[in-house]
Each structure stands twice: as structure tokens, then as C-alpha cells.
């Protein structure tokens, strides 16, 4: 009987991946994740978190066995983020993963030692997160959410789907570099497209409501929401007001179109989240963030909500429908 158990143990061990065996025999590693989540259980962040966890599991890192994964959620407000950062640093995790630029900036102000992997940051060089994309040089690396040039495409798409638009409100967070940069790019292409653009702040819901109200005052208005935690926090309000005031809107992340927005064009963030798990794996095995290049997205998704288009009385050009990765009906 003992011989059979011994043989069975050998067979079981042989069936396990060598990476899993090596990791299970070592110390339990700690990874903290910081999300600037303004909406409770927001699928924009929670789906990425699930993809990240799945990526870790596929690489042999099992929460509760050889890994202790702690997820911290905070409102995208400077004081709240700072408090979470301070609490994290006291625990000295092996790696910290951030959702994007809103959380990465204050974290890097707090530590130059603990490795940091950002899942989706806009312009990490301009924001000062890394020295260069190819050679990050410090304790942070990760994945770009998109290049600023993408912002221009939102206005172009708005003009394609709603040719009558001459005034567009641009929802952006002016307190972060990416919010300023995205608005600047949109502004640079507005003239040739015959559109006047107006910034809408994200300080509170009144800023959003007042800004959208001004744009809706004319018959030729439209909306764009830039990518950022603060803007995303008002997603339900923005999409609701756009429907109520009959404003065509173009947004970055797919979750906006899934939530009733007219159209979205942006990177596949779920794929990026899985790639972030790969960087965490490599760092836990001894590699340095300074040596891991920042990667740009390889896939962008165009999603059109045809139900919303019909409600707004818009006819989506067949050429645009043919380009779409998903059409929601």
C-alpha cells in the first residue's frame, strides 16, 4: 500500500508544471493592486482585475498558496489615493500593480524601491513614470493605454457618425497630464474638421451637468469623454445625459458603448491586463522593472451601439459599420 502511495505521489508530481513546483516550494510572495475605482464594482476595472488574476494563475501563481494578492480600491481623489499608497508601502509588498496614471503618479512619489507595474498608463514618459519606453530606468514599467494621437480619431469618428456636429464638449481631467494632453490633441484637429471644442471638467457632477447642458443648448452639439479615472467615474451620468439631451458621443474604453454610449474606440484592456501578469511573474523571478520595456497596445476595438444610434436618429455609414469590431443592437 505504501509503495502504491509512493508511486502515485511521483506520478502526480511529474504531471505538475515545473514552474508551479518551483514556486510552490518557495516563500509566499505578496502583490498589491491599486485601483482608482469611482464606481463600486465597476466592470471597467473588475474585468481587468479578473484577466490579471487569470494571467497569474496560468503562470503558476495561486492566490492563497504561493501568492498573497491584496486588492485596494479607492476613489480617484488625491487624498484617498495617498492614504492607500501610505498603507501599502508599510506592508512592503514584492510588487505593486496600478490601474493607470491616476494611481501610478502618487505611488512613485512614495517609493523608488518597490517594483511597480502599471496596467494602462497614458504617456508614461511625459508623466515621468519612466525614462524611456525601451529603457524604463527606474522601479516602474508596464503598458501604455494608447498614444495621444488616438484622441484625434475620436473627433474624426464623431464627425463621421454625426456630420452636423459643429460644437463638441470634451470631458477631461485637467489635474493630470494625460487629461491635458488628450484635450490638446483633440483641439489641434478640431479646426480642420470644422468643430469647436469646449472643455468640461470632472471636479464634481455639477461640472459635468453644466458642461453638457451648455453643449446641448445648440442643435449641432456632440460629446467626447477622454480616458481617465475621474472621467470614467461619471460614466453613468454622462451616458444618461447624452441620451436625454440627444447628444452623439464618442468614448475611449468599450465599457462606455456597452453602457449605452454611441461609440467607443480604444485598446483591448483585458489583453493588456494579462500581459501585466507576465511582467509581475518576471519581476517575482528576479528581473528588474528598469530592464523591462514599456509595451504599447497591439489591438484597438471600434464598438458601435446601433440601438443608441437609432434612438438619436443617426444613420451609421456602412463603411464605419464594416470597420467595427462589434456592433451592439
At residue 221, the pLDDT reads: 96
Residue 47 scores a pLDDT above 50: yes
At residue 74, the pLDDT reads: 94
The position carrying cell 501599502 is 88
Lowest model confidence (mean pLDDT) among 3-12, 203-212, 258-267, 300-309: 3-12
Residue 291 scores a pLDDT above 80: yes
- pLDDT tens figures, 121-173: 988 998 899 999 999 999 999 999 888 889 999 999 999 999 999 999 999 99
CB atoms within 10 A of CB 140: 27
At residue 13, the pLDDT reads: 39
Q: Does the pTM exceed 0.85?
A: no
CATH class label, 150-267+301-328: alpha beta
Q: Can 27-146+268-299 and 150-267+301-328 be said to share one CATH topology?
A: yes
Long-range contacts of 249-252 (CB under 8 A, 24+ apart): 249/158, 249/222, 249/223, 249/224, 249/225, 250/154, 250/155, 250/157, 250/158, 250/161, 250/222, 250/223, 250/224, 251/154, 251/224, 251/225, 252/146, 252/150, 252/154, 252/225, 252/226, 252/227
Fold of domain 27-146+268-299: Rossmann fold (3.40.50)
Average pLDDT value for residue range 216-233: 91
CA atoms within 13 A on the CB side of 114: 25
- Cα–Cα separations (whole angstroms), residue 314 to 24, 190, 321: 57, 21, 13
Domain boundaries of the chain, sorted by first residue: 27-146+268-299, 150-267+301-328
Amino acid at each position: 500500500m505504501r509503495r502504491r502511495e509512493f508511486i502515485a505521489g511521483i506520478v502526480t508530481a511529474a504531471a505538475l508544471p515545473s514552474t508551479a513546483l518551483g514556486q510552490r516550494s518557495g516563500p509566499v510572495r505578496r502583490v498589491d493592486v491599486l485601483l482608482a475605482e469611482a464606481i463600486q464594482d465597476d466592470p471597467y476595472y473588475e474585468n481587468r482585475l479578473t484577466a490579471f488574476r487569470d494571467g497569474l494563475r496560468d503562470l503558476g501563481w495561486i492566490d492563497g498558496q504561493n501568492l498573497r494578492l491584496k486588492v485596494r480600491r479607492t476613489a480617484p481623489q488625491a487624498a484617498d489615493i495617498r492614504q492607500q499608497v501610505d498603507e501599502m508601502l508599510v506592508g512592503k509588498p514584492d510588487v505593486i500593480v496600478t490601474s493607470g496614471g491616476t494611481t501610478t503618479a502618487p505611488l512613485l512619489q512614495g517609493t523608488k524601491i518597490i517594483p511597480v507595474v502599471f496596467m494602462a498608463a497614458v504617456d508614461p514618459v511625459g508623466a515621468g513614470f519612466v525614462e524611456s519606453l525601451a529603457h524604463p530606468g527606474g522601479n516602474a514599467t508596464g503598458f501604455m493605454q494608447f498614444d495621444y494621437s488616438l484622441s484625434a480619431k475620436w473627433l474624426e469618428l464623431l464627425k463621421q457618425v454625426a456630420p452636423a456636429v459643429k460644437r463638441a464638449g470634451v470631458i477631461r481631467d485637467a489635474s493630470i497630464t494625460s487629461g491635458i494632453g488628450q484635450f490638446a490633441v483633440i483641439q489641434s484637429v478640431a479646426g480642420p474638421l470644422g468643430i469647436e471644442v469646449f472643455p468640461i471638467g470632472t471636479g464634481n457632477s455639477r461640472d459635468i451637468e453644466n458642461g453638457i447642458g451648455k453643449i446641448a443648448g445648440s442643435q449641432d452639439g456632440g460629446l467626447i469623454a477622454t480616458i481617465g479615472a475621474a472621467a470614467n467615474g461619471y460614466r453613468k451620468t454622462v451616458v444618461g445625459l447624452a441620451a436625454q439631451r440627444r447628444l452623439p458621443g464618442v468614448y475611449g474604453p468599450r465599457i462606455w458603448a456597452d453602457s449605452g454610449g454611441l461609440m467607443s474606440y480604444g485598446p483591448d484592456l483585458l489583453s493588456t491586463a494579462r500581459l501585466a501578469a507576465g511582467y509581475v511573474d518576471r519581476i517575482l523571478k528576479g528581473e528588474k522593472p528598469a530592464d523591462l520595456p514599456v509595451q504599447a497596445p497591439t489591438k484597438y476595438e471600434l464598438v458601435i451601439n446601433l440601438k443608441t444610434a437609432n434612438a438619436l436618429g443617426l444613420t451609421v455609414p456602412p463603411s464605419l459599420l464594416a470597420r467595427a469590431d462589434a456592433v451592439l443592437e
